[in-house]
């Protein structure tokens, strides 16, 4: 592998992971060649535009001008790359089995032009064993041998969209190789443009590290969501309880309840491990239970809307419901696995006329139908039979929303406690 500034870094997949990674490498003077199957993405990058919220178009344009960043759909150009990072999607099938077809296609493209000295890094989140069981055999089909002719590592992405503090550059980067030499090669390259590298003993250790991180969050969110259901039955304000518990300086980490899990990682990643362990005749009980609880939260929120309407002698059928926020978390434009879409789907199934406003998501495709964000006005709030806060964007003026909504359900605890008129739970006004 080349070790000077002439290194060409190929990145397959220019999405939420690949483009930020490429920009950081290019800022360090490494020539980055990005690959994507979408012509619009490639054309945008080559024109100096970013399609990722966390990457400024000014940075892309500057790097293009310096000749450090380019994009292509031509996978044959992988032969130009000294290092290749695979950052493709790893979705779940309808039966919650891992879909590694994108990884397999990427590995086959790399294998077609694999040459001695190349370093290949898989970044896509997947189950332990993927790097060794899928990538390695594919890459060795041409006769080159890992650890001798080329290096192969797994280094999980740790992207947190919308986080201004922890970015691709300063978030510690775990890397584990098929051999010790592979790990060393991966660490040497990544430390050229990332602040902190954390080597581990194997690709499997790195793969399980990523799954543990997101399973930890999924299980703890499941715990706090169940606590919310318990608190509701006890007539206790769950957020008051959580805030009080968070004053303990040791042994407690604050998680908060909400309408469900969203994003590509937390709702999906634990199921990679569940699937893998089923092949080894082991049931991941914590993961399954947490998933079950978290999946029930959109139903719980829809029930809260139904209860609030009932108090006003209205049925869900025929009611106008305005949803505030459809992104899976605040201040981003990502709707992947967003629980807000599940809540909308449930309310529409009961006959509600649902509209939404989200300053970050102008349009969204829901069950084959495109919905457009409506303007947030006092009239829109007042005309709605119920308003539901599903994403707590900081751009929302919550006091103003409370003043103009007739019925308000807050699934994110965005409205200050002092602004609540009804009870101690999820309904602010009814």
Report the 10 Å Cβ neighbour count for 186. Answer: 29
**Which of 81, 87, 182, 265 is labelled catalytic?**
265
The token duo for 257 is: 């309840």
**78 neighbors 109 (Cβ within 8 angstroms):** yes
Helices (H), 73-168: 101-112, 130, 136-140
Q: Which residue is it, tokens 């005749």?
A: 281
Q: Which residue is it, tokens 């024109």?
A: 47
The token duo for 410 is: 């807050």
* Beta carbons within 8 Å of 334's beta carbon, 6+ residues apart: 16, 53, 161, 262, 263, 327, 328
Whole-Å CA distances, 184 to 110, 114, 152, 197, 205: 21, 20, 10, 11, 15
Whole-Å CA distances, 24 to 30, 31, 56, 66, 106: 9, 11, 12, 14, 22
d(CA 56, CA 60): 7
The per-residue b/e assignment along 61-83, b for 16 or more CB within 10 angstroms, e otherwise, is bbbbeeebbbbbeebeebeebbb
Q: Report the SS3 class of residue 119.
A: strand
Dmax of the chain from CA atoms? 74
Annotation marks residue 81 as catalytic: no
d(CA 38, CA 35): 9
Q: Report the SS3 class of residue 211.
A: helix
Task: Please name which of 27, 51, 30 lies closest in space to residue 39, comparing C-alpha atoms.
Answer: 51
Q: Report the SS3 class of residue 199.
A: strand
Angle at which helices 285-311 and 203-234 cross, to 10°: 30
Q: Which residue is it, tokens 């009804």?
A: 422
d(CA 270, CA 291): 9
Give bridge partners of residue 82 from the DSSP assignment.
none
Residues classed as catalytic: 265
């Amino acid at each position: 592998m080349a070790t000077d500034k002439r290194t060409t870094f190929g990145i397959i997949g220019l999405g939420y992971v690949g483009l930020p990674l490429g920009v950081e490498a290019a800022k360090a003077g490494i020539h980055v060649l990005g690959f994507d199957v979408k012509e619009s993405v490639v054309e945008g990058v080559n024109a100096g535009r970013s399609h990722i919220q966390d990457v400024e178009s000014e940075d892309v344009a500057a790097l293009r001008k310096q000749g450090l960043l380019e994009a292509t759909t031509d996978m044959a150009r992988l032969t130009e790359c000294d290092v290749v990072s695979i950052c493709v999607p790893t979705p779940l099938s309808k039966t919650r089995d891992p879909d590694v077809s994108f990884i397999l296609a990427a590995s086959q493209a790399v294998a077609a032009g694999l040459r001695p000295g190349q370093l290949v890094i898989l970044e896509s989140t997947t189950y332990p064993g993927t790097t060794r069981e899928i990538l390695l055999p594919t890459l060795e089909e041409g006769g080159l041998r890992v650890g001798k002719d080329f290096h192969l590592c797994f280094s999980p992405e740790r992207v947190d969209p919308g986080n201004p503090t922890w970015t691709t550059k300063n978030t510690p980067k775990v890397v584990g190789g098929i051999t010790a030499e592979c790990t060393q090669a991966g660490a040497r390259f990544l430390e050229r443009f990332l602040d902190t590298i954390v080597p581990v003993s194997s690709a499997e250790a790195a793969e399980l590290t990523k799954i543990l991180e997101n399973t930890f969050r999924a299980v703890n969110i499941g715990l706090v969501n169940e606590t919310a259901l318990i608190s509701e039955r006890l007539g206790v304000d769950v957020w008051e309880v959580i805030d009080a518990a968070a004053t303990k300086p040791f042994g407690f980490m604050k998680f908060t309840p909400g309408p469900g899990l969203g994003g590509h990682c937390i709702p999906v990643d634990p199921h990679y491990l569940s699937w893998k362990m089923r092949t080894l005749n082991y049931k991941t009980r914590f993961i399954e239970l947490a998933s079950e609880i978290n999946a029930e939260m959109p139903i719980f929120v829809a029930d809260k809307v139904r209860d609030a309407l009932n108090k006003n002698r209205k049925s869900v059928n025929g009611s106008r419901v305005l949803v505030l926020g459809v992104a899976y978390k605040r201040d981003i434009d990502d709707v992947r696995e967003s629980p807000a879409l599940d809540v909308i789907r449930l309310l529409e199934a009961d006959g509600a006329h649902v509209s939404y406003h989200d300053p970050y998501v102008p349009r969204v495709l829901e069950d084959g139908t495109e919905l457009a964000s409506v303007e947030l006005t006092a009239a829109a709030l007042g005309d709605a039979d119920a308003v539901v806060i599903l994403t707590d964007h900081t751009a929302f003026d919550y006091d103003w929303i409370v003043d103009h909504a007739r019925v308000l359900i807050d699934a994110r605890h965005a409205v200050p406690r002092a602004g609540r008129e009804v009870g101690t739970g999820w309904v602010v006004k009814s």
